[in-house]
Amino acid sequence: MAGAVAPRADSGAVIEKTVLDNGVRVLTERIPQSFSVTMGLWIEVGSRDEDPPRSGISHFIEHMAFKGTDHRSPLDIAREIDRLGGQANAFTSKENTCFHARALAARLPELGDLLIDLLLRPAYSPDELERERSVILQEISYQEDTPDDLVHVLFGENFWPGHPLGRPVLGTAESVAGIDRGTILAYQKQHYQPEGLVVSAVGNLDHQQVVDLISEALGSMPMAPKAGKRSAPTSQPGLHVVPRPLEQVHMVLGHKAPSAVDEQRFAAALLNLILGGNMSSRLFQEVREKRGLAYSVYSFLSAYSDSGALGIYLGVSPDRAAEALRVARGEVEGLASGPISEEELADAKENLTGSILLSVENPESRMSRLARNEINFGCDIPVEDVVAQVETVSAEDVMSLAAQLLVPGELSATVLGATNAEELAKEMAS
């Protein structure tokens, strides 16, 4: 068992790390003035680790954790969370699954015991499994009926065709219907390995207490051969139109972008803000404020361990879809050709550093930062260092990245709604 201590300037916060003999990593950030503790158990497993027949299984496992364990019924779990006076939840993403909770610092032992139970000992009762399958199928149906969500799912499938990173986290109705108890147990045994587990805890705590709390259960997790190695996807340009009788046309346009660990990630974040990341961005001002083309328009940056996407979403009336595509492409091409003013860059830096620093006041955000830094970089990166790196980005850096990424012939567009596909194709080809 190895440990390390790193003092921090954040109001006396101290970060410590211990690696158990089987590879489980335990990270804590002590904040003496806090009344609470927030803990997360992170597993480096997500929807991109699934094959098509088991698409959605990571999300299914996450749901089942709250449906009873070997020691707690679903009602026991709900009552214990309520008694802790805090909150507990879980999420599944493309690359990670996390079980997390927050409670008063004095309740840390109960909090840790509950999270470990949810992670390691789900009962997977056949009755509960069928009930939760029904819930997930309804969740998939809800997504199908929510076009501004669905268009993002369709975009991912078209942007990274045939690659697991492009598949939906929820899976499909067909794949979820075919997942049984045996499949879940086998998948969990294969993928829930100690070397891919990170325990992240933040608040008024003692590092050794956290290590002692989790060592017996998590330290005894058996090691097994690694599951298949992830492969990076290749993005696919082109236009994909999905006809639907909707009142609006929903569009997502995208280009490839740097990964979460790429040195250009800070320039990419600033590029996103300048393009459409806030109300003063080019897209918002041109598309909504000047032209009234869309109520909802924004850009987004999705960054993963080995790849990323810089995208634009627009919701427009069917008769103005081609115009909206033309205007959005124009803003993208304008960024690629430059220039970017120093004022634009300064505003984007203020916005980005402000959001970074404000997140420090949220204990869940701090817990997530601690875990994500460990998963992505193998160490903590102080907030002060992140802000300093943002400040070093120049306008030339952002323009160079824009020219590198925003190549017209490499644009991928997914359009959902009642629109003229031929007109959009002509606009894409122009």
Pull the structure tokens for residue 131: 């009930």
Written as one string, the DSSP assignment of 266-328 is: HHHHHHHIIIIISTTSHHIIIIIIIT--EEEEEEEEEE-SS-EEEEEEEEE-GGGHHHHHHHH
H/E element, 309: strand 308-316
Q: Which amino acid is at 324?
A: A
Q: Which amino acid belongs to residue 276?
A: G
Cα atoms found within 13 Å of the Cα of residue 196, Cβ hemisphere only: 21
How far is Cα 280 from Cα 286, in angstroms, rounded to an integer? 10
62, 95, 132, 374: the catalytic one is 62
How distant, in Å, are the alpha carbons of 104, 149, 167 from that of 153? 38, 7, 8
In sequence order, which residues have a C-beta less than 8 Å from that of residue 111 and are 6 or more positions away? 37, 39, 84, 86, 101, 102, 103
Q: What order of strands is seen across the sheet that includes strand 97-104?
A: 2-7, 14-19, 25-30, 197-203, 36-43, 97-104, 87-92
Rounded Cα distance between 359 and 202, Å, is 13
Rg (CA), the chain: 23
> CA 206, 211, 216 angle in degrees (round to 5)?
145
- 62 counts as catalytic: yes
d(CA 172, CA 404): 35
| CA separation for the pair 108, 426 (Å, rounded) | 61
Report the DSSP pairing between strands 294-303 and 308-316: antiparallel
Contact 15, 138 (CB under 8 A): no
For residue 188, how many other CB atoms are within 10 A of its CB?
Answer: 19
Closest CA to 318 of 415, 428, 427: 415
Say if residues 16 and 183 touch (Cβ distance below 8 Å).
no
| Residues annotated as catalytic (active site), given as ranges | 62
